[in-house]
Amino acid sequence: MGAGRRQRLHRLIAVVNAEKGESLKILVTGGAGFIGSHIVDALIAAGHEVRVLDALVAQVHGSRDSESTRPPYLHTDAELVQGDICDAALIEQALEGVEAVFHQAAEVGVGQSMYEITRYVDANTRGTAILLQALIRRRRHIRKLVVASSMSIYGEGACECRQCGPVAPPLRSAEQLGAHEWEVRCPGCGREVRPSPTRETKPLFPGSVYAITKQDQEQLSLVLGRAYGIPTIALRYWNVYGARQALSNPYTGVCAIFSARLLNGQPPLIFEDGCQLRDFVHIRDIVQANLLALESPDANYHAINIGSGEVINIRQVAQMLAEGLGRSIAPIFPGKSREGDIRRCIPDLTRARSVLGYKPQVTLAQGIPELLDWVRSQTARDSVETATAELAARQLVR
């Protein structure tokens, strides 16, 4: 049977199962966070029973009193186990009766990871190791493990050089950035290169502690999943945006940071010249990819790019957000750069389409107004200047 027919058949089986009401017991680590909580909603809507393991870290969730630890948006049907992913006894308890796991728990600040090294390695690498150790013991009951990986593990995205053809450049040097030469150069001939879609086969050059730990999470999961027959899939997310991003967390993604600045009447602060290119993928498409991963045997043991296929630079992001919020506040360009940042990385989505049947649905023109509707209903503490000063004091922004 051809791959296409096999895939259609598997999808049909999944639909029949859903109609039969087959319900799995599923653990979502980091399930009270931005991405995790949306996955939880979708799993419950699909008829599954969901348990969430989440440390509710103050940087993301704010400090709460003991009565109100549960985030208000967390689905009321989700069981919440509050605690640390490195707590092996708690993991055992959280895995009781579980048949599938979505591992979303992670510390996510690229800049912060460069000085809070043990915190990032503990939560992301060691936390994943502890989870896997427990999963291996229960492997006969586990039908699927889906791990949140990240495009940050590629370092600079794939490029095309007019002279040398396809190249995979390393991160730009401190000297180059110090001279404000922002564009990526060919490692062969030194000419400026153009970005091309990055495939999963591109060599990995993680440029931050965060990225190293994401690579660890992905590879530990795929290698051990294969060795022990736990069907495992790593989804390499591009820049995710949407409601529930932690607006007051200065180490979160740029859409949330700029929105919080604008809400507080402050100009977005743009690193480099703002021509860094990213692919912003809406949370609903991330959820789509995760649910497809649960149902797609052809995707097992693969790492798969998940983006929107729409590329935009950071200047345009600032402009769209300011316009959408009705604030005529121009961004500022201090001419600084952030250690470990990449210039451009855009996804090749061929594998996502072929093994998952993934098709991005939400364009920026639809997703940004939706994000802003939610942003307007929030109050955000803007601590970006303090966070940037912390990075600058360590020479990590210069």
Catalytic residues: 210
- Other beta carbons within 10 angstroms of residue 129's beta carbon come to 17
For residue 37, the SS3 value is helix
Packing angle of the helix pair 283-295, 34-45 (nearest 10 deg): 50
Name which of 151 and 220 has its Cβ closer to ligand UD1: 151
Any contact of residue 34 with ligand UD1 (CB under 6 A)?
A: no
C-alpha 100/C-alpha 235 separation (Å) is: 15
Q: Which stretch binds ligand UD1 (CB under 6 A): 93-101, 102-110, 136-144, 154-162?
A: 102-110
Q: Which stretch binds ligand UD1 (CB under 6 A): 25-33, 150-158, 194-202, 363-371?
A: 150-158
Any contact of residue 120 with ligand UD1 (CB under 6 A)?
A: no
Nearest distance in Å: CB 331, ligand UD1: 8
Among 50, 53, 55, 151, binds ligand UD1 (CB under 6 A): 151
Binding mask 281-320 for ligand UD1 (x = CB under 6 A): ---------------------------------x------
Among 60, 158, 246, 270, binds ligand UD1 (CB under 6 A): 270
Nearest distance in Å: CB 84, ligand UD1: 20
Q: Which stretch binds ligand UD1 (CB under 6 A): 106-114, 123-131, 132-140, 361-369?
A: 106-114
Any contact of residue 269 with ligand UD1 (CB under 6 A)?
A: yes
C-alpha 189/C-alpha 168 separation (Å) is: 13
Q: Which stretch binds ligand UD1 (CB under 6 A): 18-26, 81-89, 270-278, 358-366?
A: 270-278
Any contact of residue 113 with ligand UD1 (CB under 6 A)?
A: no
- Give the helix/strand (H/E) hosting 150: strand 144-150
C-alpha 380/C-alpha 116 separation (Å) is: 24
- Other beta carbons within 10 angstroms of residue 329's beta carbon come to 16
Any contact of residue 280 with ligand UD1 (CB under 6 A)?
A: no
- Give the helix/strand (H/E) hosting 304: strand 303-306
Any contact of residue 213 with ligand UD1 (CB under 6 A)?
A: no
Residue type, 67: E
Among 221, 232, 252, 288, binds ligand UD1 (CB under 6 A): 252
Name which of 14 and 254 has its Cβ closer to ligand UD1: 254
Name which of 159 and 240 has its Cβ closer to ligand UD1: 240
Any contact of residue 171 with ligand UD1 (CB under 6 A)?
A: no
Any contact of residue 131 with ligand UD1 (CB under 6 A)?
A: no
Alpha helices in the chain (DSSP H): 3-20, 34-45, 58-61, 88-94, 110-113, 117-120, 127-137, 174-178, 209-228, 254-263, 283-295, 314-324, 350-351, 364-376, 384-393
Name which of 109 and 324 has its Cβ closer to ligand UD1: 109
Any contact of residue 271 with ligand UD1 (CB under 6 A)?
A: yes
C-alpha 337/C-alpha 344 separation (Å) is: 14
Tell me, rounded to whole angstroms, the distance of Cα 176 from its chain centroid: 28
Any contact of residue 349 with ligand UD1 (CB under 6 A)?
A: no
Close Cβ partners of 233 (under 8 Å, ≥ 6 residues apart): 144, 145, 146, 147, 293, 296, 299, 300, 301, 302, 304
Any contact of residue 238 with ligand UD1 (CB under 6 A)?
A: yes
Any contact of residue 121 with ligand UD1 (CB under 6 A)?
A: no
Any contact of residue 35 with ligand UD1 (CB under 6 A)?
A: no
Decide: 293 and 329 in contact? Cβ < 8 Å: no
Considering only CA atoms, which of 196, 294, 277, 209 is closest in space to residue 238? 277
Supply φ then ψ for residue 78, to 5 degrees: -85, 135
Q: Integer distance in angstroms from the first to the last C-alpha of the chain? A: 56
Q: Which stretch binds ligand UD1 (CB under 6 A): 14-22, 108-116, 194-202, 362-370?
A: 108-116
Among 34, 120, 154, 251, binds ligand UD1 (CB under 6 A): 251
C-alpha 28/C-alpha 74 separation (Å) is: 12
Cross-strand partners of 52: 28, 80
- Other beta carbons within 10 angstroms of residue 166's beta carbon come to 11
Cross-strand partners of 281: 240
Nearest distance in Å: CB 315, ligand UD1: 9
Any contact of residue 240 with ligand UD1 (CB under 6 A)?
A: yes
Residues of this chain that interact with ligand UD1 (CB under 6 A) are 108-110, 150-152, 237-240, 251-254, 257, 269-271, 276, 278, 314, 338, 341, 384
